[in-house]
Amino acid sequence: MRLVAPGAVAVVTALALALAGCSRSSSSSSASSSPSSGTAQPVSPSSAQPGGANQLQDAYQKVIADVLPSVVQITTGDSLGSGIVYDDKGDIVTNAHVVGTATNFTVTLANSSKTLDASLVGSYPDSDLAVIKLNSPPSGLKPAVFGDSSKVQLGQITLAMGSPLGLSSSVTQGIVSATARTVSEPRGGGSPGATIGNMVQTSAAINPGNSGGALVNLDSQVIGINTLAATEPQTNGAAAPGIGFAIPASTITNITDQLIKQGKVTNSGRAALGITARTSFNQQFQPAGAVIVAVSPGGAAAAAGLQPGDVITRIGDTPVDSLNALTTALASLTPGSKVTVGYTRDGAAQTAEVTLGTLGTGS
């Protein structure tokens, strides 16, 4: 399968499946409680376990009423995507592949047909997140409440909210199918081709235009941003039902807070070697590792003695045969962790113990 990023209603395509981004072509708590933007609230998988069908329906309807006002439609040129109201100042978080290279946007709130102008605050393609801001925020904006990603559990009921195929305020339902997935996006068509770790896999349907929308639990908390859907190459890119991916809430709040406060990201929470690299090929022209092109002074690789020309072939127990494999391996690790890096220098196999640094802008 392939992955596509259902961003704007012009789909992009990439993992071991084939992922599609959901853009380019939510979730607030009960009315009595409105924590500040980016506040992590504990997720209680057992707290919203209705006993009967009517109770479950009531729970769905309550969550939709709570969250949908926090989910917006974003128009970029002739492309459509979704976003989530982050605070009452007009900041909206979405996917980087939704905004692409644009700096000006029109936004439609869920409870209004009037379009509002917005401008780019900042974008961080490495985590496929971006923030835009309404130029004249209306009163009554309803910021979403973000859940605690560490509490997300397999089998939790989820609702995906956004504007699939331009149908604003749409909702689909499913469950959390898996957590801690590391997924590589396809590159092109507005998608930055990021490799993102710790993603939430859901069976809730995610379609083009859903990117940047909210993946929500039954406590009316956003547990992720809808980002990727799987497609099946053997069926000419038709959707693979029930396989979608969302960036977790902890990543969203970390990146968004930095973009709002300083316009850039200096601490992504993602591990980095502090190198520039490219795929290395052997004499048979087959991918055979990631060759270091440059080493950042003072970075993790420099401290471990790695040099330009070294070909990385392994990170810990994970073989590395390409730049993409290296990026994927690093996405599953955390800054500050120690890892054995296998590499070749002048044809001789060597190892180095590396304390990983943090990926930030320009890292």
Q: Active-site residues: which are they?
A: 97, 128, 211
With beta carbons less than 8 A apart as the criterion, state whether 316 and 273 touch: no
Query: How would you classify residue 130: left for phi > 0, otherwise alpha for psi between -120 and 50, otherwise beta?
Result: beta
Count the neighbouring beta carbons within 10 Å of the beta carbon of residue 234: 9
Judge contact between 231 and 4, C-beta under 8 A. yes
Return d(Cα 231, Cα 235) in angstroms, integer. 8
CA distance 331 to 32: 38
Of the chain, the end-to-end C-alpha distance in Å amounts to: 31
Block residue for tokens 């961003």: 7
Under the phi-then-psi rule, with left for phi > 0, alpha for psi from -120 to 50, and beta for the rest, what region is 140? left
- Rounded distance between C-alpha atoms, residue 360 and residue 280, angstroms: 25
Question: How far is 320 from 187, CA to CA, in rounded Å?
Answer: 20
Helix (H) / strand (E) element for 326: namely helix 323-331
Output the CA torsion 22→128→80→86 (10° steps): 110
218/9 Cα distance (integer angstroms): 28
Beta-bridged to residue 291, according to DSSP, are 278, 311
